[in-house]
């Protein structure tokens, strides 16, 4: 038996039936767009960090520590188990994550580092970095994007400094023996171990801090709304949406950290909030950047627009010029082992991206068809090609399209129609 391995940053990882990272995806590791001077993501990162520093500096010491250089290679324990994500939760599926092997993956969210940092004794911190998710292909989705995650914890003395008779925990709950009380999330308002006063105060701080952040980024007049949400690691949970170009845009998820997470680490007498926000979403709205792939551009026509001394400067991205799109369809008969419903779209998208690279702007499922007589299944996708920095010729596109057809035939045993 031969073991195959993938090498990531000088370390070999043994592959198995879970492995689905591709060389293309691995090539994004280490780009660290969020740390590159003059990248819009880096400017938004700095503005967010500055907001939290300014808002929470006490006696000259910032209360938040910032981690922006943690390795994106994490264990399934960090990404899921430690965050109470159930074993059968869809976010664990191979079709949604980039696995290195069954125990190791490229983090799907920055929350993957929450427990290790809490365990190291931190109570207020920001985690910033690149995250990896398998998803559709269009102008707002890219398999790699960037998040800022945060945790803010408070003990009774801080939370209720002017009301010392109030408590964080319900009287029946014994924080020195949390297992004696089954913490429940049945009540939509709060976890059963927490008092309503503590939860409501944390909720209002959380919401105020995040609205303050949105106003600092978008100006006082930004329209927003809170939407109730569910995350396995917080309760209650919300999403914040902002109104941008006639649409509600989801920019972050947040909530009160499940007490089990804090109690699993060690004796706990605090309550914490957490949030995770997407840097691309914010940067695209703030600077009117029309396509997420531009974040990865090394073209000076793009980057020069973000070379600013003052991170708070107003910038509106001006397209260098818009090059034409070119759309080619691909349709094929599936082998008998596959149906139009079992064919995994995300596998196909990755294959298209592996062959076509960043000139793939969008892949759309156009048609599913089952032949009435032969019962053969067929799929048709439109592939939209556009280079961000020059005009593609039809011949050039046809050549890549042909390579994609060949790769699809080879990988799925399909017959091109
Ligand atoms: N990790 C969540 C996501 O990626 C966001 C989140 C972070 C929600 C922290 C709640 C608390 O969607």
Q: What is the pLDDT of residue 320?
A: 66
Q: Which atom of ligand 1 is nearest to the CA of 257?
A: 11
In this prediction, residues 240-268 reach a mean pLDDT of: 95
Radius of gyration for the alpha carbons in the chain, expressed in angstroms and rounded: 24
CA distances in angstroms from 88 to 92, 236, 285, listed in the order given = 7, 21, 35
Helix (H, G, I), strand (E, B) or coil at 216: helix
Identify the CA nearest to 75 among candidates 98, 104, 50.
104
Q: How far is the CA of 355 from the centre of ligand 1 (A)?
A: 32
Q: How far is the CA of 364 from the centre of ligand 1 (A)?
A: 28
Residue of the CA atom closest to atom 4 of ligand 1: 109
pLDDT in tens, 19-43: 999 999 999 999 999 999 889 999 9
In this prediction, residues 115-137 reach a mean pLDDT of: 96
pLDDT at 324 over 70: yes
Q: Which residues line ligand 1 (CB under 6 A)?
A: 109, 111, 149, 231, 234, 237, 253-255, 274-276
67: phi then psi, degrees, rounded to nearest 5: -120, 110
pLDDT at 2 over 70: no
Rounded to whole angstroms, how far apart are CA atoms 128 and 149? 6
Q: How far is the CA of 142 from the centre of ligand 1 (A)?
A: 18
Q: How far is the CA of 111 from the centre of ligand 1 (A)?
A: 6
Mutate to test the pocket of ligand 1, among 79, 113, 149, 252 (most ligand atoms within 8 A of CB): 149
pLDDT in tens, 214-245: 999 999 999 999 999 999 999 999 999 999 88
Q: Name the percent of the chain lying above pLDDT 70.
A: 98
Q: Which atom of ligand 1 is nearest to the CA of 131?
A: 4
Helix (H, G, I), strand (E, B) or coil at 159: helix
Q: What is the pLDDT of residue 188?
A: 97
Q: Which atom of ligand 1 is nearest to the CA of 278?
A: 4
Residue of the CA atom closest to atom 7 of ligand 1: 276
Q: Which atom of ligand 1 is nearest to the CA of 237?
A: 10
The architecture in CATH of the region 326-416 reads 2-Layer Sandwich (3.30)
DSSP lists the bridge partners of residue 250 as 241
pLDDT in tens, 163-206: 999 999 999 999 888 888 999 999 999 999 999 999 999 999 99
- Distance of alpha carbon 345 from the chain centroid: 19
Q: How far is the CA of 123 from the centre of ligand 1 (A)?
A: 17
Q: Specify the pairing of strand 61-62 against strand 224-231.
A: unpaired
The ipTM value here is 0.99
CATH superfamily for domain 5-295: Bira Bifunctional Protein; Domain 2 (3.30.930.10)
**Alpha carbons within 13 A on the beta-carbon side of 73:** 19
pLDDT in tens, 360-378: 988 989 999 999 999 999 9
List the Cα angle 233/44/104 in 5-degree steps: 40
Write down the mean pLDDT value for the chain.
Answer: 94
Residue of the CA atom closest to atom 12 of ligand 1: 253
Q: Which atom of ligand 1 is nearest to the CA of 114?
A: 9
Q: How far is the CA of 253 from the centre of ligand 1 (A)?
A: 5
Sheet holding 104-106, edge to edge: 73-75, 104-106, 99-101
Q: How far is the CA of 387 from the centre of ligand 1 (A)?
A: 33
- Which residue intervals of the chain bear CATH 3.30.930.10? 5-295
- Which residue intervals of the chain bear CATH 3.30.70.380? 326-416
Q: What is the pLDDT of residue 389?
A: 82
Q: How far is the CA of 109 from the centre of ligand 1 (A)?
A: 7
Q: What is the pLDDT of residue 56?
A: 84
């Amino acid at each position: 038996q031969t073991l195959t391995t993938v090498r990531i940053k000088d370390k070999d990882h043994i592959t198995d039936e879970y492995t689905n990272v591709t060389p293309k995806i691995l090539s994004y590791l280490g780009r660290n767009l969020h740390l590159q001077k003059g990248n819009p993501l880096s400017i938004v990162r700095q503005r967010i960090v500055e907001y939290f520093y300014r808002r929470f500096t006490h006696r000259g010491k910032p209360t938040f520590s910032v981690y922006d250089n943690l390795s994106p290679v994490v264990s399934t324990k960090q990404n899921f188990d430690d965050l109470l994500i159930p074993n059968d939760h869809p976010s664990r599926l191979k079709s949604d994550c980039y696995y290195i092997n069954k125990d190791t993956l490229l983090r799907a969210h920055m929350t993957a580092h929450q427990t290790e940092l809490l365990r190291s004794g931190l109570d207020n911190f920001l985690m910033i970095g690149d995250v990896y998710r398998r998803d559709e292909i269009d102008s707002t989705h890219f398999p790699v994007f960037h998040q800022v995650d945060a945790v803010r914890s408070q003990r009774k003395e801080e939370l209720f400094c002017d009301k010392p008779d109030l408590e964080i925990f319900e009287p029946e709950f014994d924080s020195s023996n949390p297992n004696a009380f089954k913490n429940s999330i049945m009540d939509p308002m709060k976890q059963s171990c927490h008092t309503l006063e503590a939860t409501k105060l944390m909720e209002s701080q959380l919401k105020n801090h995040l609205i303050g952040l949105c106003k600092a980024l978008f100006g006082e007049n930004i329209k927003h709304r809170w939407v109730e949400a569910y995350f396995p690691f917080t309760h209650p949970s919300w999403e914040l949406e902002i109104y941008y170009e006639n649409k509600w845009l989801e920019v972050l998820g947040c909530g009160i950290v499940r007490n089990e997470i804090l109690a699993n680490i060690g004796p706990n007498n605090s309550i914490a909030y957490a949030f995770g926000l997407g840097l691309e979403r914010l940067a695209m709205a703030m600077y009117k950047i029309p396509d997420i792939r531009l974040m990865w551009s090394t073209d000076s026509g793009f980057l020069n627009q973000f070379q600013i001394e003052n991170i708070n400067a107003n910038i509106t991205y001006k397209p260098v010029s818009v090059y034409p799109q070119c759309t080619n369809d691909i349709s094929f008969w599936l082998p008998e082992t596959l149906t139009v419903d079992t064919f995994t779209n995300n596998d196909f998208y990755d294959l298209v991206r592996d062959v076509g690279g960043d000139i793939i702007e969008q892949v759309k499922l156009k048609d599913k068809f089952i032949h009435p007589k032969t019962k053969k299944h067929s799929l048709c996708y439109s592939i939209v090609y556009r280079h961000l920095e020059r005009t593609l010729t039809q011949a050039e596109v046809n050549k890549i399209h042909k390579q994609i057809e060949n790769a699809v035939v080879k990988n799925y045993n399909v017959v091109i129609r």
